[in-house]
Structures are given as C-alpha cells and as structure tokens.
Structure 1
Amino acid sequence: MTTSVRLVEITGDNRDAVCALRVHPGQERFVASVAKSLEDAATTPEGEPWYRAVYVGDEPVGFVMLSWDVPPGRPGVLGPYYLWRLLVDGRYQGRGIGRAVLVEVVSLVRAVGGTELLTSHQPDDDGPGAFYRKFGFVPTGEIDDGEPVLRLDL
C-alpha cells in the first residue's frame, strides 16, 4: 500500500497538534516525543536540525527530524545527513506512513547531493531496527551512544 505524505513546517498553527502525537504505549523507549525532539533541536544547533510534521491529507500523523548537511568532522554529530527522529502516531501505524516518510526524506537528501543517510536505533528486538533494515539500511558496525548505526547508500 502506498501512502501519500507531506512534510510540513511546524508553526504556531500546528505545533500543539503535532506535539500531541504519540507512539503506542511501550514504544516510548524507542523514540522521544515531538516536544522533546523540538527541545533537542533548539539545544543542539551543532546538529543542524531540520524537522517537519508528517501529514496525510490535512491530518498530522507523525514527525521527522534530521541532521541536515552537517560539516565533516563536527564532534558528536553523525552526518552529514542523519535521521535523528521518526515518529508515527500509534493511531496511524501499520499504514506505510513511516516508509513513505523515508522515501520523501531520501528524495530530499538526494536532491541536494547527499550520498548516504545514517540513522541509529535502540537495539531491542522489538525496536525499529527491522523496519530500517527492510527499507535498505545496513549496519555500519559503529555504535553511537549505545545504539547501532545504520547507513542507507543513496
């Protein structure tokens, strides 16, 4: 099933609705809330945060945040393109939205000349690792803050 998503700037008009999005209970250990993600973006400018609300039609259904075009060698930041957060509200999971967001993100990164997209995840068996590997990410062998790092060649 192909789901059409739009990546929309977060503004005063949609911030509360986007911050209200929640993963299923029990998934909170895998991804920070939208509010925490926005706080992390504000307090980690060296990560070059780029974030958007994910919409299906007129409904906010998720959130995505990347480190965008980080200069090489910046300490403590994976990059240049790193998928920092991907959250799909529990009510909308299982509909292909996460995959559709990754397709959009890959297209955007390729359009600006990016050659790889990195991410990391909690190593738990029930975590998002299988989702990323199914999309085509492969382990790099690196560990960042206790999380295996994955790479998708673009």
Structure 2
Amino acid sequence: MTAVRLVEITDGNRAAVCALRVRPGQERFVASVTRSLEQAATTPEGEPWYRAVYAGDEPVGFVMLSWNVPPGRPGVLGPYFLWRLLIDGRHQGRGFGRAVLDEVVVLVRADGGTELLTSHQPDEDGPGPFYRKYGFRPTGEVDDGETVLRLTL
C-alpha cells in the first residue's frame, strides 16, 4: 500500500508544493496548486480545507475539499466536496491518488460525513475513470459543465 501524509501548507513548504505540476495535457482537467490556493482565498463560502500530499519527506500532490459546508449555500456543493486532487506528473501511476482518497474518506467519516462529492469534465481521457474505479457514481447532476459524482461512505 502506498503511504501518504496530508500536511498543512506553510511558508516552509509552500514553494515546493506550488511547484507540483500534472503531466502535459492534464492542465485542462485540474488547476495548479497556486490557482487552487487563490480560489480557496477568494471563495470562503466554500469552506476550503487543503493539504499538501507527502510521500516520506517529499511533496507529491495537493488535495482541497469544501469541508462541512452548511446546507443551502448557493453555488457550493457539499457538505463535503473534493474540489481538487492533483498528483505531480512525476508521481502519477504509483497509487498516490488512491491513497489520498483513502485518507480523505477516513477524515470525512470521522467528521460525520456520509458522502463525498466531486466533479470532473466529461472527457474520456480525464479523471472520470479513476473516480469511478474508486467507487464514485454519477449523481445525474451537472455543475458548471462538469459531471457530479458521489461516493457513499
């Protein structure tokens, strides 16, 4: 099993985490860490919760969720929504994405969550197959052109 740690982003690791990049061609599916942090800062109503993903002492990815959003907040899916999952291109295909989801599921369950939502562009070469293999299922909803998926916890 691939082991990861979810680590707070600090002044000491911010540059290394922001330097993480997906593989060429994947940029249309997932925003950069820098853009994600900007979105978190400008969208407080989304209750952003984010962490760097570490394997040992090396940052290998980034994850961001909307965390326990109160019901009925306009424009925000929730209460728990996987807003961003980025695994650096050099580290893809090694189980880190699945390991991150395993950690997130444990945390959301511990917080009382019963489902985790996410969304993706419906392109065949996008992350949809990865999420479906993990157990996410389409809800039938579309949000801003993206297919919404649900993982029952």
Q: TM-score, normalised to structure 1's length?
A: 0.99
Report deviation, 1:75: 0.2
Which residues of 2 match residues 1-154 of structure 1 at below 5 A?
2-154=1-153
Mapped to 2, the partners of 1:132 and 1:48 lie a distance apart of 22
SS at match of 1:134: helix
Question: Is the partner of 1:126 in helix, strand or coil?
Answer: coil
State the identity as a percent.
84
Provide the secondary structure at the position in 2 that maps to 1:98. Answer: helix
**Structure-2 separation of matches of 1:122 and 1:97:** 21
In the alignment, the residues of structure 2 paired with residue 123 and residue 40 of structure 1 have an alpha-carbon distance, to the nearest angstrom, of 22
What displacement does 1:81 show? 0.0
Give 1:64 shift: 0.1
The residue type equivalent to 1:49 in the other structure is P
- Structure 2: gaps (5+ residues): none
Inter-partner Cα distance in structure 2 for 1:39 and 1:112: 25
4+ residue segments displaced more than 6 Å: none
Partners of 1:52 and 1:84 lie apart in 2 by 12
TM-score (ref. length: structure 2):
1.00
Unaligned runs of 5+ in 1: none
* Structure 1 residue 151 displacement after superposition: 0.1
Distance in 1 (CA, whole Å) between partners of 2:4 and 2:108 is 16
- State the number of aligned residues: 153
Deviation at 1:137, TM superposition (A): 0.2
Query: 1:134: how far off?
Result: 0.2
Query: What one-letter code is carried by the residue in structure 2 that aligns with 1:151?
Result: R
**1:133: Cα distance to partner?**
0.2
SS at match of 2:3: coil
